[in-house]
Amino acid sequence: MSQTEPKPILFSGIQPSGHIHLGNYIGAMRNFKLLEDQYDCLFSIVDLHALTVRQEPASLRRQTLELAAMYIAAGLNPAESIIYCQSHVPQHAELAWILNCFTYMGELSRMTQFKDKAKKHQDNINAGLFTYPVLMAADILLYQTDVVPVGADQKQHIELARDIAQRFNAIHPGVFKVPEGYIPRQTAKIMSLTEPGKKMSKSDSDDSMISFTDTPPEIRRKIKRAVTDSDAEIRFDRRNKPGVSNLLGILSVCSGEKVDKICQRLEGKGYGALKEETAEAVVAMLAPVQERFHTLMEDKAYLAETLRNNAQRAQKLAQRTLQKAYKKLGLYQP
Ligand code: ATP
Ligand code: LTN
């Protein structure tokens, strides 16, 4: 984060809750890199959010370090952008409590992610799952964030964060910046390879997603088996041809070629050709990033030191906002 010329502030977060997949990479990380120069950025590994579903401690620890390496391998610069772990900055949990007192049960009950996850984890519908969006609002509001790049699934949470900020400011003026979401249309939603009506998700089967660390043969195999449909027409139509449209979207993002052009070029060639091109484009896009990732994972001391330093940078910024909120609320500060 540059000291000399303040730029608008960008915040985003990814959970270390499983294998990072192509949806996370195309929908989030890759966009972060494209935006990094225009903003002062914070990219958080939101490990506290991950606790809303049961995690195996050793896996959570490993996935946290992997996610740090992925951010850096994706091209983000940890000497400029603040790449850090949410739990290393206690102000997140502190502000979340305050914001809980400014959020209505009714609002949280309407969150579709809560409804989906509650259905999926019926044996563990915990209060953290319910108040998840409040912690997310705290993440964002702590840093006077201007813009929050996310996938389309997070739109409702961003709107809630804005509502909470406005409600708080209406009572205690000037504490929070009201953030804007940034959801690039083309990369907003990468769908599952096996159920193209659903988004690609960490918590689904291995064959439904391309994992960030999949090898080229694995990537080719999964895309070859991706669900399409029974006619052979290569056309972008999310409603009637979700599987084919998903592959077209992935190919277009990875290769930089427009969807219309791809459709013209592949006309009459069948799904085999589309799948082959898509697989090769994904392999080519991920290869250099994967190579940097593996090198970084061999230097755990560097990753640990980077996370430590960056948590300190984040704490300094977060404390300013938290202090302001405490003071305005009338919490006695000797
Ligand atoms: P889960 O699938 O278990 O709900 P997730 O992958 O959605 O997890 P996160 O790790 O918090 O959850 O997501 C990180 C970022 O990736 C967010 O900005 C999210 O919007 C984006 N993202 C997740 N899945 C997709 C997808 N299929 N397509 C595009 N963006 C996605
Ligand atoms: N809820 C998000 C992850 C997340 C986040 C954030 C994203 C937590 N805090 C702050 C942007 C800003 C998700 O599930 N994808």
Q: Which domains does the chain have, with CATH numbers?
A: 9-182+299-329 (3.40.50.620), 206-294 (1.10.240.10)
pLDDT bin (cut points 50, 70, 90) of residue 157 is very high
Averaged pLDDT score across all residues of the chain: 95
Q: What is the pTM of this model?
A: 0.92
**Contact 41 CB / ligand 2 (< 6 Å):** no
- Name residue 6's amino acid: P
**Contact 129 CB / ligand 2 (< 6 Å):** no
Using DSSP's 3-state secondary structure scheme, residue 81 falls into coil
Cross-strand bridge partners of residue 282 = none
What is the number of the ligand 2 atom nearest to the C-alpha of 132? 1
The pLDDT of residue 1:
60
The pLDDT of residue 2:
52
The pLDDT of residue 202:
84
324 among known catalytic residues: no
How crowded is residue 125: how many other Cβ atoms within 10 Å of its Cβ?
15
Q: How far apart are CA 19 and CA 41, in angstroms?
A: 24
Nearest in space to 119 (alpha carbons), one of 53, 171, 66: 53
**φ/ψ (deg, to 5) at 253:** -65, -45
pLDDT bin (cut points 50, 70, 90) of residue 313 is very high
**Contact 46 CB / ligand 2 (< 6 Å):** yes
The number of the ligand nearest the C-alpha atom of 212 reads 1
Q: What is the pLDDT of residues 242-294, one digit of tens each?
A: 999 999 999 999 999 999 999 999 999 999 999 999 999 999 999 999 999 99
DSSP 191: B
**Contact 183 CB / ligand 2 (< 6 Å):** no
Six token digits for residue 292: 């940097």
Using DSSP's 3-state secondary structure scheme, residue 57 falls into helix
119 among known catalytic residues: no
- Name residue 9's amino acid: I
Point out the least confidently predicted range of 11-25, 183-197, 206-220, 302-316: 183-197
Q: How far is CA 145 from the centre of its chain?
A: 16
What is the number of the ligand 1 atom nearest to the C-alpha of 18? 3
Q: How far apart are CA 253 and CA 153, in angstroms?
A: 19
Q: Could you tell me the CA-to-CA distances from 247 to 68, 85, 122, 288 in Å, in that order?
A: 28, 33, 32, 21
Q: What is the pLDDT of residues 115-152, one digit of tens each?
A: 999 998 899 999 999 999 999 999 999 999 999 999 88
